[in-house]
């Protein structure tokens, strides 16, 4: 085997034999009011802010995720994920949905203790957010098949107990606004994923936990922590 014969991280496209090749993973912080409040911030509609995870942090639904090292506070964040299918910069809000290939259900796994320390010291978030296996995701469902969901229920349960339960209509920045703003910072391209933020109810995970979640009209996701 060639040392440099590296796998391309990819996500199955539901209803096809296609794989969506993951190029970049962008994430939005603080995009649901009740989550902003639970994290101790004022809810005000300032611009959305973004962070990123490496493409190979992708984990497919059904997988077992190792409890990551150097944390004692691994948190779940269920998220509505947008898959980009068109290249472009400075996209207008009106045209933003043309850039969407499809949608998925994701979990933004977070080392909350490291994030807290990073915030206190004004340091970057990579170790809190961009660690190995930090981006579980369901299959991607094409917009041509399911449309553009904007109001379905988004939920997450741990060992069958509901922890997060909200609606996509609670997003502070909707999909069009989030894409338009992101495209002022980076050129978007096919293969990009955007995790759009989590609703209230984030909390700790432990080895042995079964994590399930879903978004009405898209799909469900299931991972186990080991
Ligand atoms: Mn998040």
Q: What is the mean pLDDT of the chain?
A: 96
Rounded distance from Cα 2 to ligand 1 centre (Å): 36
Q: What is the mean pLDDT of residues 119-135?
A: 97
Residue 30 lies inside a defined structural domain of this protein = yes
Residue 77 lies inside a defined structural domain of this protein = yes
Rounded distance from Cα 208 to ligand 1 centre (Å): 22
* Residue 107 pLDDT grade (very low, low, confident, very high; cuts 50, 70, 90): very high
What secondary structure does DSSP assign to 93-155, as a single string?
GGGGGGGEEEEEEEE--EEHHHHHHHHHHT--SHHHHSSTT-EEE--BEEHHHH----S-EEE
Q: Report long-range pairs for 112-121 (Cβ below 8 Å, ≥24 apart).
A: 112/71, 112/73, 112/74, 112/75, 112/202, 112/204, 113/71, 113/72, 113/73, 114/70, 114/71
Residue 107 lies inside a defined structural domain of this protein = yes
Rounded distance from Cα 80 to ligand 1 centre (Å): 10
Residue 90 lies inside a defined structural domain of this protein = yes
5-59 pLDDT per residue, tens:
999 999 999 999 999 999 999 999 989 988 888 888 887 667 889 999 999 999 9
Rounded distance from Cα 29 to ligand 1 centre (Å): 6
* Residue 2 pLDDT grade (very low, low, confident, very high; cuts 50, 70, 90): confident
Residue 108 lies inside a defined structural domain of this protein = yes
Residues with CB under 5 A from ligand 1 (ion): 77, 108, 198
Rounded distance from Cα 186 to ligand 1 centre (Å): 19
170-182 pLDDT per residue, tens:
999 999 999 999 9
* Residue 62 pLDDT grade (very low, low, confident, very high; cuts 50, 70, 90): very high
Q: How far apart are CA 8 and CA 38, in angstroms?
A: 37
Residue 85, domain CATH: 3.90.850.10
**Which range among 35-49, 69-83, 167-181, 191-205 shows the weakest confidence by mean pLDDT?**
35-49
Neighbours of 85 (CB within 10 A): 20
SS3 203: strand
Neighbours of 162 (CB within 10 A): 12
Domain count, the chain: 1
**Residue 89 pLDDT > 90:** yes
Rounded distance from Cα 195 to ligand 1 centre (Å): 7
- Tokens encoding 2: 């060639």
β-pairing, 219-225 with 210-215? Answer: antiparallel
Q: What is the mean pLDDT of residues 163-168?
A: 98
- Predicted TM-score (pTM) of the model is 0.97
Residue 5 backbone dihedrals phi, psi, to 5 degrees: -85, 70
Domain that holds residue 211: 10-225
Residue 3 lies inside a defined structural domain of this protein = no
Residue 4 lies inside a defined structural domain of this protein = no
Residue 150 lies inside a defined structural domain of this protein = yes
Rounded distance from Cα 110 to ligand 1 centre (Å): 8
């Amino acid at each position: 085997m060639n040392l440099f014969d590296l796998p391309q991280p990819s996500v199955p496209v539901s209803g096809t034999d296609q794989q969506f090749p993951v190029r970049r993973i962008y994430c939005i912080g603080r995009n649901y009011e009740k989550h902003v409040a639970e994290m101790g911030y004022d809810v005000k509609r300032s611009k959305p802010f973004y962070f990123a995870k490496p493409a190979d942090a992708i984990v497919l639904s059904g997988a077992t995720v190792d409890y990551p090292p150097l944390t004692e506070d691994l948190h779940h964040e269920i998220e509505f994920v947008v898959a980009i299918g068109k290249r472009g910069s400075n996209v207008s809000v009106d045209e933003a949905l043309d850039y969407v290939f499809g949608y998925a259900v994701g979990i933004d796994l977070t080392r909350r203790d490291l994030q807290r320390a990073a915030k206190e010291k004004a340091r970057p978030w990579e170790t809190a957010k961009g660690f190995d296996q930090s981006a579980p995701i369901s299959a991607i469902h094409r917009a041509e098949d399911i449309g553009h969901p904007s109001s379905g229920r988004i939920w997450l349960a741990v060992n069958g107990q509901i922890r997060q339960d909200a609606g996509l209509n609670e997003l502070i920045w909707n999909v069009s606004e989030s894409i338009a703003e992101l495209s002022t910072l980076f050129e978007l391209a096919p293969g990009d994923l955007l995790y759009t933020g989590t609703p209230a109810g984030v909390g700790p995970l432990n080895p042995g936990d079964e994590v399930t979640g879903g978004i009405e009209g898209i799909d469900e996701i299931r991972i186990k922590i080991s």
